[in-house]
């Protein structure tokens, strides 16, 4: 049995190039990277220099017809693993490429602990491990992410019956789940990852046998706010303190002090509210498919839809957006 990692990678600013320097190979067979055309050549050059990384640039003909480009990219990243291995004999971790680089470069011990835990999963029988961000790592995220994803965590944990963090973008599957997701995607209208449909593929019609029943495996700093890393050159230039990059909360604090937080969160609020609504709509369908009472989820979804997206987009500042959304989201 082998352990593999697969990811999408989108780094147009080249901020991840430094994280790709001098990487030590973690205890995995290979890392499959599906990179967008906009990704920096510097980042791609550094990644392609490692023999244990299989880099595949996105091609126009890869587009899955029924999915939007982002959804198609996520499925194609997983398909690299399915096509290049004998998946039924292996285990695969799906994680965003920026997040995996972030972890390997700054928190290799944490990455190794995750992999060591995952390897207990076993390769056969539809098995799944969810990776839950620690309180510190989750707290390092921007306000739009924390407020919306805390609702996702709560709803899906109640739906599935154990603590989970489906929006952490870090999950490990046995090979048969990977095959199931890739095949299912060909006939689905929506298959974005992180998305409830991936989690549903791992839990609705199959047994969860890969880990303790009480909660997902909690990770440390490696699942912190990696988006700040993409701007790390600016952070280092303004702070002249590279040591902050070894702590996810310090990294986010420095990111906030640069003033980049305002720009980032201004664009994140509409995106995250729409993503939350999408997750909740699917949670309703998943509950009904399971024969569970979906009343509470429907009430939550209805409240979220009280946020008028046109009004939200007309607001001129991050502060105005936050005040508007908080009044609704914090009550859930």
Dist CA 138 CA 27 (whole Å): 25
Number of helices (H), then strands (E), belonging to the chain: the values are: 14, 7
Mean pLDDT of the region 81-108: 90
For residue 268, the model assigns a pLDDT of 93
Mean pLDDT of the region 310-325: 94
Domains in the chain, CATH or no CATH each: 2-139+166-223 (3.90.550.10), 226-329 (no CATH)
User: In the 8-state DSSP scheme, what is residue 141?
Assistant: S
Dist CA 128 CA 204 (whole Å): 12
Secondary structure element (H or E) that encloses residue 81, with its range: helix 69-84
Tens digits of residue pLDDT in 27-76: 999 999 999 999 999 999 999 999 999 999 998 888 888 777 878 888 89
Quick one: pLDDT band at residue 200, thresholds 50, 70, 90? Answer: low
CA nearest neighbour of 161 among 199, 116, 195, 114: 199
Dist CA 195 CA 2 (whole Å): 26
CB-based contacts of 4, cutoff 8 Å, min separation 6: 28, 29, 30, 31, 32, 81, 85, 90, 91, 92, 93
User: Mean pLDDT highest for which of 13-17, 67-71, 216-220, 319-323?
Assistant: 319-323
CA angle 298, 160, 33 (to 5 degrees): 105
For residue 243, the model assigns a pLDDT of 63
Quick one: pLDDT band at residue 80, thresholds 50, 70, 90? Answer: very high
**88: buried, middle or exposed (CB in 10 Å: 19+, 13-18, 0-12)?**
middle
Laid out side by side, the sheet with 170-174 consists of 53-57, 30-35, 2-9, 90-95, 170-174, 128-133, 217-219
Backbone angles phi and psi of 275, in degrees to 5: -65, -40
* Residue 214: CB atoms within 10 Å: 8
């Amino acid at each position: 049995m082998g352990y593999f990692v697969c990811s999408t990678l989108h780094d147009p600013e080249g901020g991840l190039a430094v994280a790709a320097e001098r990487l030590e190979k973690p205890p995995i067979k290979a890392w499959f990277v599906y990179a967008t055309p906009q990704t920096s050549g510097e980042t791609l050059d550094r990644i392609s220099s490692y023999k244990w990384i299989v880099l595949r640039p996105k091609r126009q003909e890869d587009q899955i017809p029924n999915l939007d480009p982002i959804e198609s990219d996520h499925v194609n990243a997983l398909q690299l693993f399915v096509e290049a291995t004998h998946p039924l004999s292996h285990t695969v971790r799906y994680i965003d490429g920026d997040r995996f680089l972030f972890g390997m470069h700054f928190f290799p011990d944490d990455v190794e602990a995750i992999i060591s835990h995952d390897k207990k999963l076993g390769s056969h029988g539809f098995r799944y491990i969810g990776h839950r961000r620690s309180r510190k790592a989750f707290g390092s995220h921007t306000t739009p992410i924390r407020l919306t994803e805390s609702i996702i965590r709560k709803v899906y944990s109640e739906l599935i019956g154990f603590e989970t963090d489906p929006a952490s973008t870090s999950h490990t599957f046995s090979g048969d789940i990977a095959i199931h997701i890739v095949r299912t995607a060909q006939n689905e209208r929506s298959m974005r990852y992180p998305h409830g449909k991936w989690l549903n593929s791992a839990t609705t019609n199959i047994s969860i046998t890969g880990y303790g029943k009480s909660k997902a495996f909690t990770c440390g700093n490696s699942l912190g706010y990696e988006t700040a890393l993409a701007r790390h050159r600016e952070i280092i230039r303004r702070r002249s303190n590279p040591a902050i990059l070894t702590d996810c909360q310090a990294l986010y604090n420095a990111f906030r002090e640069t003033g980049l937080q305002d720009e980032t969160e201004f664009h994140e609020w509409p995106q995250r509210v729409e993503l939350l609504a999408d997750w909740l709509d699917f949670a309703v369908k998943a509950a009904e498919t399971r024969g569970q009472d979906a009343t509470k989820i429907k009430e939550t979804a209805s409240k979220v839809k009280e946020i008028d997206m046109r009004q939200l987009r007309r607001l001129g500042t991050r502060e105005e957006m936050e005040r508007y959304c908080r009044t609704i989201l914090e009550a859930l």
